[in-house]
Amino acid sequence: MDERALKLAVLISGRGSNLAAILHAIDAGRCSARVALVLSDRPDAAGLALAHARGIASAVVRLQDHVDRGAWDSALASRAAEAEPELVVLAGFMRVLGPAFLARFPHHVINVHPSLLPLFPGKSAPQDAIAAGMRVSGCSVHVVDSGVDTGPVIAQAAVPILPGDHAEQLHARIQRVEHVLLPRVIDAIARGQVALGPELRVHAQADPDSTLYSLQENAD
Ligand code: GRF
């Protein structure tokens, strides 16, 4: 294991295909990171099996086991902090984080979302993009703030919306690029090409072999 690699806590609620993509990219030497903890709000999240299979620490912190949302948010933050992550990655985590969690990891929580933000925030992004008559959608990796999918965008990748697409088909197409972009962004953060802080700074050059990535130098 590369001890210099960026230490991650990954939060999931479901399938965990983005978690799998991160682990695959780490194994392939394309992502200078290591997953120290997988946290879920749901015991039935299929992605937890991935953590178990690889001997990665995991924990479930359910909302319904706490007196209110604030207590749950604090418990989630405390459990994440035990792993001392340098970056928290929301990879299909379907709940909104509260102030206690965000205060524990200021500017160091990122999320992957299946639209080109700021268009189509929320839970039905692929459906919403189709309904709006878009011909292009994609995915965004952004810094998490107190809003729903509103934090500063770090990078995006585009995919076409094809005639007759259903939300599931579009989401599957978007996920294929999520699985490339999210590990790429984590690697860029690990290498200092993206500086997280009160002001987001993106210093990485766009991938010259691809038109998909928006990791590029700031204009300033
Ligand atoms: C992804 O499409 C992500 O954009 C959204 O939730 C989905 C999670 O998928 N936030 P998976 O659990 O990583 O397969």
Q: List residues near ligand 1 (CB under 6 A).
A: 12, 14-18, 47, 91-92, 112-114, 139, 175, 178
Q: Which of 90, 105, 120 is the last residue of a domain?
A: 105
Same domain, 101 and 116: no
**From ligand 1's centre to the CA of 92, what distance in Å?**
4
Amino acid at 151: G
Task: Report residue 121: phi and psi, to 5°.
Answer: -70, 170
Instruction: Tell me how far the alpha carbon of residue 81 lies from the centroid of ligand 1, in angstroms.
Output: 23
Give the type of residue at 12.
I
Q: For 95, how many CA atoms within 13 A lie in the half-sphere containing its CB?
A: 20
Examine the fold and report which residue of 53, 71, 105 is the final residue of a domain before the chain moves on: 105
Here the tokens at position 184 are: 């790429």
Measured from the Cα of 114, ligand 1's closest atom is 4
If asked whether residues 32 and 133 sit together in one domain, one would say no
- Are 48 and 148 in a shared domain? no
DSSP bridge pairs for 8:
35, 87
Q: Which of 76, 105, 134 is the last residue of a domain?
A: 105
CATH number for the domain spanning 132: value is 3.40.50.170
Q: Are strands 153-160 and 109-113 parallel, antiparallel or unpaired?
A: unpaired
Asked if 101 and 115 sit in the same domain, the reply is no
CA of 220 to the centre of ligand 1 (A): 33
Residue 219: the pLDDT is 39
Structural domains of the chain, count = 2
Q: What's the domain range around 53?
A: 1-105
Shortest-distance atom of ligand 1 to CA 171: 2
Token pair in block for residue 152: 């500063």
| Statement to judge: residues 95 and 139 lie in one domain | no
Rounded distance from Cα 91 to ligand 1 centre (Å): 6
Q: Which atom from ligand 1 is nearest to the alpha carbon of 18?
A: 13
Residue 213 has pLDDT above 80, yes or no: no
Active site (annotated) includes residue 179: no
Residue nearest to ligand 1 atom 7, measured at CA: 92
| Tens digits of residue pLDDT in 114-172 | 999 999 999 999 999 999 999 999 999 999 999 999 999 999 999 999 999 999 999 99
* Domain identity same for 116 and 25: no
Is 127 in the same domain as 95?
no
Write out pLDDT tens, residues 38-92. 999 999 999 999 999 999 999 999 999 999 999 999 999 999 999 999 999 999 9
Exactly one of 108, 113, 171, 179 is catalytic; name it.
Answer: 113
CB 47 within 8 A of CB 19: yes
Indicate if 5 and 29 belong to the same structural domain.
Answer: yes
